Amino acid sequence: MGDVFEPADFGIGSLFYAIRDAVIVANAKTERIVLWNQQAVNLFRYEEREALLLPLHALVPENLRDAHRKGLARFQEMGSGPLIDSGMPVELTGMRKDQRKVAIELTLTPVDQVDSEGSRFVLAIVRDISERKAGEEARLELREVELRQRQAAELHNKVVQGLTVAKLALEMGENARSAEAMSETLDSARRIVDSLLSAAEERQSGIDA
């Protein structure tokens, strides 16, 4: 094969143009992108002429590039790899031309041929799942809000009930019982507040990451 490739060179045919997902074929040895359909343009925002000059890792966030390169090197050497062998889609993060991240679902398939220089090729089917992930995050946020509301209501009820018991015991001259009720109320309130603070810290850690 020469430097210019057509879908038919990889046995893809009209599927390359008809499929609604991004279709990318790349040289595993050089990381050069050799095929790039219109859906790939729409997803990653690189025109075809730009994409054909890119290394494949340009579509991968910096923190994932080492794993990406190792996976390609393994495939080039062995013709196999965990992700490629599974044939199953995996959720990852892609990098657009404007350096904005996008949630994607990636399926890799080996192309059953090797060029004259011993390079293997890999076919990537990439789907934009950003809307789905946004919906999942919205539902998760709603559940967290509902949980915080229940915890706040529980905190309010326990404090009111505990103070009421302590007040009544104090009015009846039962100082020890009043002090015990106050102690139990403070312990319950502390546990609920600690739970709320822990959840807030976890959310902040996720944002910072």
Domain around 75: 7-128
Residue 161 has pLDDT above 70, yes or no: yes
108 occurs within a structural domain:
yes
Burial 45-78 (b: 16+ CB within 10 A, else e): ebeeeebbebebbbbbeeeeeeebeebbebbbee
- Between the alpha carbon of residue 37 and those of residues 17, 26, 112, 163, the distances in Å are 7, 12, 20, 68
The more confidently predicted of residues 121 and 133 is 121
pTM: 0.64
Q: How confident is the model at residue 131 (pLDDT cuts 50, 70, 90)?
A: confident
Q: Which two tokens stand for residue 102?
A: 């996008």
Decide: 70 and 91 in contact? Cβ < 8 Å.
no
- Domain end, chosen from 86, 107, 128, is at 128
Mean pLDDT, range 54-63, rounded to an integer: 93
Burial 111-124 (b: 16+ CB within 10 A, else e): beeeeeeebbbbbb
> Of 52-56, 86-90, 102-106, 132-136, which gets the smallest average pLDDT?
132-136
2 occurs within a structural domain:
no
The reply to whether 91 and 164 lie within a common domain is: no
- Domain end, chosen from 128, 157, 178, is at 128
The reply to whether 96 and 197 lie within a common domain is: no
For residues 100 and 20, give the distance between their C-alpha atoms in angstroms, rounded to a whole number: 22
The reply to whether 190 and 144 lie within a common domain is: yes
Q: How confident is the model at residue 1 (pLDDT cuts 50, 70, 90)?
A: very low
**Percent of the chain residues topping a pLDDT of 70:** 91
Q: Note the pLDDT of residue 3.
A: 65
Please give the tally of structural domains in the chain.
2
